């Protein structure tokens, strides 16, 4: 393949995604010198420096960031247009950018996206995980995975799996502490608290709809990591309130036991949020369907 036969936008979008010219050259099976010459020709045509080169990595200039973002947008619009006029036939292709919080992202979303790419090798997935949920309106993300209440009405939402938050503890903790019969009994227990979403994390919610009850809990262990607080709970250090998707395997294995199971808790369902455009690209619908089917199977939900 002659590098000069590649469209400027396609060429630079690949460069911008690469850590180095060597990595980009490997993509096309060309030498670094050829890629560097092609890049220099593009910069000369535009009259700006797009990338600052070093021996270790590439650094985009301000103009480079702007050109890369525009290139990605135009190329994706082109792919979406071709997909639309092809009457929904042919191989799925294009980029899918996904945002998810860490816990469910690592445990389920990442492996399910891996399965999707194995089935559709011309799909490029870009997954970003963070401790906090993100409002993707006005960002470059195609999909956000959200656990819990939905707030942004500017986005479409598709239910991926049912979920609720439940209270549980290790058997050894329950054997050595007072019985739990109602939520008022929580004041006599050590509650391990997950600090998340910048909310008042020491308030545990019970009930549903207009009958919700907020209970302030106390404990000597707090963390912003769901796996950490669950691990402490397994050690017998106290009670936790966590999503059923997270703790159900531990309950089924006997490592944890659900308590107050006759007290309803609010839904914390798992949704995919995406742009409310009139024509959702086929690849976006396909990956959302794959996530829904995969989560249903993994979490045994209906």
Question: Which residue is associated with the tokens 């980029």?
Answer: 95
Task: Please tell me the distance from the alpha carbon of residue 167 to that of residue 80, in angstroms, as a whole number.
Answer: 45
Reading the block at residue 83, the tokens are 């997909």
- In this structure, are residues 51 and 58 in contact, taking their beta carbons and an 8 Å threshold? yes
Residue 153: what pLDDT? Answer: 64
Reading the block at residue 64, the tokens are 């480079």
> Could you write out the DSSP letters of every residue in 156-178?
EEEEEE--BEEEEE-HHHHHTS-
Per-residue pLDDT of the chain (302 residues; tens, 9 = 90+): 566 666 888 888 888 878 788 888 887 778 888 888 888 988 999 999 998 876 567 888 999 888 888 888 787 777 777 666 665 567 788 888 899 988 899 999 999 999 999 999 988 898 988 877 777 766 778 899 998 877 766 778 899 999 999 999 999 999 999 988 888 999 899 999 988 765 556 788 898 777 788 889 988 999 988 899 999 999 999 999 999 999 999 999 999 999 998 888 888 899 999 887 667 888 899 999 999 999 998 887 55
- The domains of the chain, with CATH numbers, are 3-72 (1.10.10.10), 93-163+269-299 (3.40.190.10), 165-259 (3.40.190.290)
Ramachandran category for residue 114: left, alpha or beta (phi over 0 → left; psi -120 to 50 → alpha): alpha
């Amino acid at each position: 393949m002659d590098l000069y036969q590649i469209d400027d936008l396609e060429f630079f979008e690949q460069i911008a995604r690469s850590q180095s010219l060597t990595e980009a050259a490997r993509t096309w099976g060309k030498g670094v010198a050829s890629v560097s010459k092609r890049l220099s020709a593009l910069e000369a045509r535009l009259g700006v420096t797009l990338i600052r080169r070093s021996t270790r990595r590439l650094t985009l200039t301000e103009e480079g960031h702007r050109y890369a973002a525009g290139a990605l947008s135009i190329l994706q619009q082109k792919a979406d247009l071709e997909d639309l006029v092809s009457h929904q036939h042919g191989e799925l292709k294009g980029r899918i950018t996904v945002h998810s919080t860490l816990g469910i992202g690592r445990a389920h979303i990442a492996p399910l996206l891996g399965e999707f790419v194995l089935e559709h090798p011309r799909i490029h997935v870009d997954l970003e995980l963070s401790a906090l949920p993100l409002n993707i309106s006005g960002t470059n993300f195609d999909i956000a995975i959200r656990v819990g209440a939905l707030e942004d009405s500017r986005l479409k939402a598709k239910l991926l799996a049912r979920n609720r938050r439940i209270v549980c503890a290790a058997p050894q903790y329950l054997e050595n502490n007072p019985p739990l019969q109602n939520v008022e009994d929580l004041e006599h227990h050590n509650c391990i608290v997950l600090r998340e979403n910048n909310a008042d994390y020491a308030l545990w919610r019970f009930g549903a709809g207009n009958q919700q009850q907020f209970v302030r809990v106390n404990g000597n262990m707090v963390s912003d990591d769901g796996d950490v607080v669950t691990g402490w709970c397994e050690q017998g250090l106290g009670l936790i309130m966590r999503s059923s998707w997270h703790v159900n395997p531990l309950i089924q294995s006997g490592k944890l036991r659900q308590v107050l199971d006759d007290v309803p808790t609010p839904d914390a369902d798992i949704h995919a949020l995406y742009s409310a455009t009139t024509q959702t690209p086929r690849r976006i619908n396909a990956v959302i369907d794959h996530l829904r089917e995969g989560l249903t199977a993994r979490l045994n939900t209906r």
